[in-house]
Amino acid sequence: MANEKKGSGAGKFALGALIGAAVGAVAGLLTAPKSGKETREDIKQKAGEVKDAATEKAKDAKKFANEKAKDAKAFLKKQKKEAKEFVEDEVEKDA
């Protein structure tokens, strides 16, 4: 369980770092002595980079969620089997 919290915190930290980097990049672009056209091109490029990074992060999150769902399903299947065996053993003892 500690790993789950750590992974969650790492994801939040990475998202925060990504947002911070984007804000810093935009602030740098807007204060740089460039023409409006150059600034718009730079913003467009940075926006594309942020979009790509966010898309990658979303893919990672989806993969993580799918893995956890698969693990949970396997765990519940095992628990169901063990419970069924336990009940069958108890019924045999009473018979």
| pLDDT(64) > 70 | yes
Over residues 2-14, the pLDDT tens digits come to 444 445 677 778 7
The radius of gyration of the chain from alpha carbons, rounded to an integer in Å, stands at 25
For the ranges 10-19, 64-73, 82-91, the one whose mean pLDDT is highest? 64-73
Mean of pLDDT over the chain: 83
| pLDDT(59) > 80 | yes
| Full domain range(s) for residue 66 | 2-94
Q: Which residue has the higher pLDDT, 88 or 36?
A: 88
Work out the number of other CB atoms within 10 angstroms of the CB of residue 16.
10
The total of structural domains in the chain comes to 1
| pLDDT(44) > 60 | yes
Residue 23 vs residues 20, 27, 32, 39: alpha-carbon distances, Å: 5, 6, 14, 15
